[in-house]
Structure 1
Amino acid sequence: MNFKRLESDYAPIMLSILRIVSGLIFLEHGTQKLLGFPPPGERGAPEMLSMGWNAGVIELICGTLIVIGLFTRPAAFLASGTMAVAYWIAHAPQNPFPVLNGGDAAILYCFVFLYIFFAGPGPWSVDAWRDRRRGFLSRMTR
């Protein structure tokens, strides 16, 4: 198997797929908290302007931006920081082990979004489309 070809041909596409899938799942947390879909269960919706409600707003907005790949780096940075705060405030005090305190998803989100912040959105994104268009327009005006 030619791993160099995998890296050069498919890694950018897989970056876009990672961004889209993680953004969709992150977005679902926001829709559950703020829109009640899927139904939040026994906890119910968070009180407006509470920490949970603010997290839901970030999940909804940043999740949407990450999925479509618009303003991806700032959205991913904010989402990553939100998940770091969520882990240390909500999960870590319960137990030092992520598998026991329920914080393993928060840790994964934190580092996936931090990776996306550094790696960029990938080729299947509005940001990439805008960059290609900007480059095309600048070449046309020369």
Structure 2
Amino acid sequence: MSIFASGEVIQCMEQNNCKSSACCLLGSLATNTSMDFGVLLLRLGVGAMMLVHGIPKLNMLLSGNWAMFEDPLGIGSFLSLLLCVGAEVGCSVLLFFGFLTRLASLILIINMCVALFLYLGLSGWGAQELAAIYLLIYLTLFYTGPGKFSVDAWWLRRDCKIEVE
């Protein structure tokens, strides 16, 4: 069973002058549907994984225990925690559904830059690695957009009459 529709395999075979579907499997796989499916998986995965970091911070905020949160921006622990929760919980949910994807990605990029350069600072690569990986993923989503399996694409097709590739 192939993850590609039979029409996509045939189109791939024709475009790449392939004699078998294995050629397309080992080739670029750059069909629109496979690219959109890959972006969907990336959005769902990173959205869920960042929630694991954001939910404990949300609980800290709701319990009123924000004094324990560090203040890397110098704006106070409460406001720093509120911004972090907004990014890690709110924007992760937006990414998960593919709604306002580029805006959510931009906010998460800023959040990861603060974590990577201000909070973790000179902690060494071992401590900075995860924040750098998240930053790379958010930069990728900012540039690729949400893909066609998203609320953004549905909205563009419905309200703006824009054909999403």
For normalisation by structure 1, the TM-score amounts to 0.77
Which residue is 1:107 aligned to?
A: 132
- 1:65-84 alignment runs, 5 A limit: 65-84=94-113
Residues 30, 56 of structure 1: 8 Å contact kept: yes
Residues 72, 120 of structure 1: 8 Å contact kept: yes
Q: Give the number of equivalent residue pairs.
A: 125
CA distance in 1, matches of 2:159, 2:86: 31
Residues 27, 62 of structure 1: 8 Å contact kept: no
- Alignment of 1:117 onto 2:142: yes
Question: What SS does the aligned partner of 2:78 have?
Answer: coil
For normalisation by structure 2, the TM-score amounts to 0.67
Q: Which runs of 5 or more structure 2 residues have no equivalent in the other structure? A: 1-22, 68-76
Question: What's the CA shift string for 1:51-78, capped at 9, x where partnerless?
Answer: 3443122111111111111100000011
Question: What SS does the aligned partner of 2:44 have?
Answer: helix
- Alignment of 1:133 onto 2:140: no
Residues 29, 56 of structure 1: 8 Å contact kept: no
Which residue is 1:88 aligned to?
A: 117
Which residue is 1:12 aligned to?
A: 36
CA distance in 1, matches of 2:81, 2:115: 9
CA distance in 1, matches of 2:154, 2:100: 12
- Give the alignment's Cα RMSD to 1 decimal: 2.2
Q: Which runs of 5 or more structure 1 residues have no equivalent in the other structure? A: 37-44
Which residue is 1:58 aligned to?
A: 87
Specify the structure having the higher radius of gyration (Cα).
2
CA distance in 1, matches of 2:113, 2:82: 16
Higher helix share: 1
4+ residue stretches of structure 1 with deviation over 4 A? none
Q: Identity across aligned pairs (percent)?
A: 26
**Deviation at 1:50?**
4.9
